[in-house]
């Protein structure tokens, strides 16, 4: 079993550590959502973040993705301290988030969702127009690189299945040169077959060198996909394990506190 002493205070980031969050605190009025949480993520791996509702997972993810600014603590990306005032700043640093609601616009086509707020234009000055051809081609390539049986990029999102929508959201996040893609319960509302397809997309993403942070309540999925697991409880990261050196039963025990880190 791995030494879990680093769960409270991660070791100094080395070349294999792409992101480290140290002693992160965040309060909302009298509610202390994070009480000094610390995690690390290794480059090119899938790191799982697990814990009961209210453990602090969502708040930590929002701090990493620029939705919330921590009250205290440090976030280091590629060895440099970073501060994200907004999600756009996190994205500029290469951190994309696939939220549980996917943030897709139902009435727009797949290619339009890919480039929403990042449209490619051509021309000069006030005479610039949207380069639809380039955007469609780029979206088709990015989606095709990740997803098998990807939907045509001209299809409207409202016509897609749940698995196709997830694939679109993940491919969009990966397509912007991301260093890290954060995924919040990516298969929570999907059936068995669609879950398998989305998991294949996630594995393809990792194989392409992108680091993934996976938030999931599905321990079987965590064991299938992740390389490393962090356990949160009471606003703290209380334990960490290499996935090959743990089990679903041990993770449950760590979450509930039945087993000490």
Averages of pLDDT over each 10 residues, the chain, 261 residues: 39 71 97 97 97 95 96 96 94 91 92 92 88 94 82 94 89 85 89 88 91 94 97 97 96 91 73
Tokens representing 166 are: 């997830």
pTM of the model: 0.85
Q: What are phi and psi of 223, to 5 degrees?
A: -70, -35
Residue 5 has a pLDDT of: 36
Q: How many residues does the chain have?
A: 261
Gap between the Cα atoms of 86 and 92, Å rounded: 10
Sign of the dihedral through C-alpha 208, 221, 104, 144: positive
Name 239's Cβ contacts closer than 8 Å, sequence gap at least 6: 4, 7, 230, 231, 254, 261
Name 5's Cβ contacts closer than 8 Å, sequence gap at least 6: none
The structural domains of the chain, with segments of one domain joined by +, span 4-256
Any idea which residue has 């989606």 for tokens? 143
Name the CA dihedral angle for 109, 111, 117, 120, rounded to a multiple of 10 degrees.
-130
Any idea which residue has 């299945």 for tokens? 161
4-256 placed in CATH 3.90.190.20: no
Residue 177 has a pLDDT of: 66
Nearest CA among 157, 122, 123, 127 for reference residue 139? 157
Gap between the Cα atoms of 217 and 198, Å rounded: 16
Residue 67 has a pLDDT of: 95
């Amino acid at each position: 079993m791995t030494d879990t002493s680093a769960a409270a205070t991660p070791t100094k980031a080395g070349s294999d550590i792409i992101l480290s969050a140290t002693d992160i605190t965040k309060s909302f009025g009298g509610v202390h959502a994070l009480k000094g949480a610390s995690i690390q993520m290794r480059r090119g791996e899938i790191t799982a973040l697990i814990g009961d509702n209210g453990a602090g997972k969502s708040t930590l993810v929002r701090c990493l993705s620029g939705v919330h600014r921590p009250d205290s603590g440090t976030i280091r990306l590629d060895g440099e301290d970073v501060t994200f005032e907004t999600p756009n700043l996190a994205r500029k640093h290469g951190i994309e988030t696939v939220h549980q609601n996917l943030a897709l616009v139902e009435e727009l086509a797949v290619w339009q969702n890919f480039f929403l707020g990042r449209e490619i234009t051509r021309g000069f000055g006030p005479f610039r127009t949207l380069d639809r051809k380039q955007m469609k081609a780029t979206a088709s390539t990015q989606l095709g690189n990740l997803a098998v049986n990807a939907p045509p990029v001209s299809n409207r999102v409202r016509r897609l299945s749940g698995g196709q929508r997830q694939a679109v959201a993940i491919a969009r996040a990966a397509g912007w040169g991301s260093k890290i893609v954060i995924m919040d319960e990516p298969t929570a509302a999907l059936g068995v077959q669609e879950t398998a397809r989305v998991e294949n997309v996630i594995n393809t993403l990792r194989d392409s060198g992108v680091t993934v942070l996976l938030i999931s309540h599905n321990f079987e999925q965590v064991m299938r996909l992740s390389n490393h697991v962090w356990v949160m409880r009471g606003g703290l990261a209380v334990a960490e394990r290499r996935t090959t050196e743990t089990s679903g039963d041990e993770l449950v025990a760590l979450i509930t506190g039945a087993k000490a880190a």
